[in-house]
Amino acid sequence: MPGRAATGNGRTTMQQGTTRTAPGPGRRTHRPGAVRRTWARHPRIGLALRAAVAATAAWALALLIPGPFADYPYYAPLGAVVATTASTLASSVRQSMQTVASIALGAAVAFAGDALVGPQLLALALVVATAVLLAGWRRLGSGSSWLPTAALFTLILGQGNPTGYVLGFAGLTFAGALVGILVAAAFPPLPLAPADATLGELRETLAGQLDDLVGGLRQEHPPTQDEWRGRMHTIDPLLAQMRAAVQEADEARRGNRRAARFRPAADRLYEQARALERLTLLVEDLTLVIAETEIAENERVALGPTLRPSASGALAALAEVLRSVDGAAADPEVVRRADAAVAAFATELRRSRATTDDDLFEAGNIIENVRRSLTAVRPREPAEHRDDA
């Protein structure tokens, strides 16, 4: 980026021709940037504040409502908390509607059970059983857990004034949910930082997998199949976690007044996620090819002592590239070093093919996978450079 430079671990940052220096002894500095980063990386802080504001406002409003609602004001902050503990504005609306629908349906079950069954114990058993069965309805989503609770509360706590109780329970929960939705709409969450953190974790895991492949290839003798198995990382759970985080970030943009402001950052996030999807498949393929062909039990291995050094150098360079990714692309200088390492591997492969009848297909497959992996994170050249080429 123009006007910025970073060197080594001791990073020096320059903007608009000025250099930031460490404060002298006794000087106190304010770091609003650090506060913003902490806020972005820990969305539960904002979640807690939104819930507190919404619950307080809902309670204050509930105390002003007359009629049967006045006896149950505590259900209003309950609805507000339900609405504001969702991670996105869209899920806040969805979760609120599902919760209110579950409460209404649970109350209906309690009314029906009380009317159809005489003895209270038998009615209680029938109502709870029916409510638990209905709670399995997928359309109720996460709010379904309120269905048995609402049925039980209506049957027991609503005796003597069931209609007033249900109006207070469902009505004030709905009113509180509306307050929570308004608070969420005024201060909408946009969880880009947590999604970015999951991308970084997956990227680091892929780099760690490459490191373990490099370690195996740099041994004097190829690892056994069991030893290779011990070097294989579990990637699928992290990949699923990344997909869920990116999907949540995408959903958070719906109806979010902050979405336009953070659109470039969101677009970079999605681009990086797509690149990591491709990288995951390629690294898994690399791992399988090496672990299944470069093993001590095989009479003929994929690489052998001639190609293992250059292959391990190419994989180590790819791991370095993954760790250099910033945004959707890797550091150009690190990528150039990786290109050189891959070229050296390809040169050794051509020499080996010239001295043997074996086509060394698996070694060629490894080179191709490394090249594709580099393509997935290669920085894009400016348009004017591409036109001149």
d(CA 163, CA 141): 26
Mean pLDDT of the 117-128 span: 83
pLDDT at 190: 65
Task: Kindly report the number of other CB atoms within 10 A of residue 273's CB atom.
Answer: 22
Instruction: Enter the tokens of residue 247.
Output: 């999907």
Q: pTM, whole model, 2 decimals?
A: 0.59
pLDDT recorded at residue 119: 66
Confidence of residue 348 (pLDDT cuts 50, 70, 90): confident
Q: pLDDT digits over 166-188, tens only? A: 888 988 999 999 999 888 887 77
**pLDDT tens track for 135-163:** 998 888 888 899 999 999 998 888 878 88
Q: How confident is the model at residue 261 (pLDDT cuts 50, 70, 90)?
A: low
Q: pLDDT at residue 30 above 50?
A: no
Higher pLDDT: 138 or 300? It is 138
Contacts for 68-75: CB closer than 8 Å, 24+ residues apart: 68/161, 68/163, 68/164, 68/165, 68/167, 68/168, 69/167, 69/168, 69/171, 69/172, 71/164, 71/168, 72/165, 72/168, 72/169, 72/172, 73/172, 75/168, 75/169, 75/172, 75/173, 75/176
Q: How many helices (H) and strands (E) does the chain have?
A: 16, 2
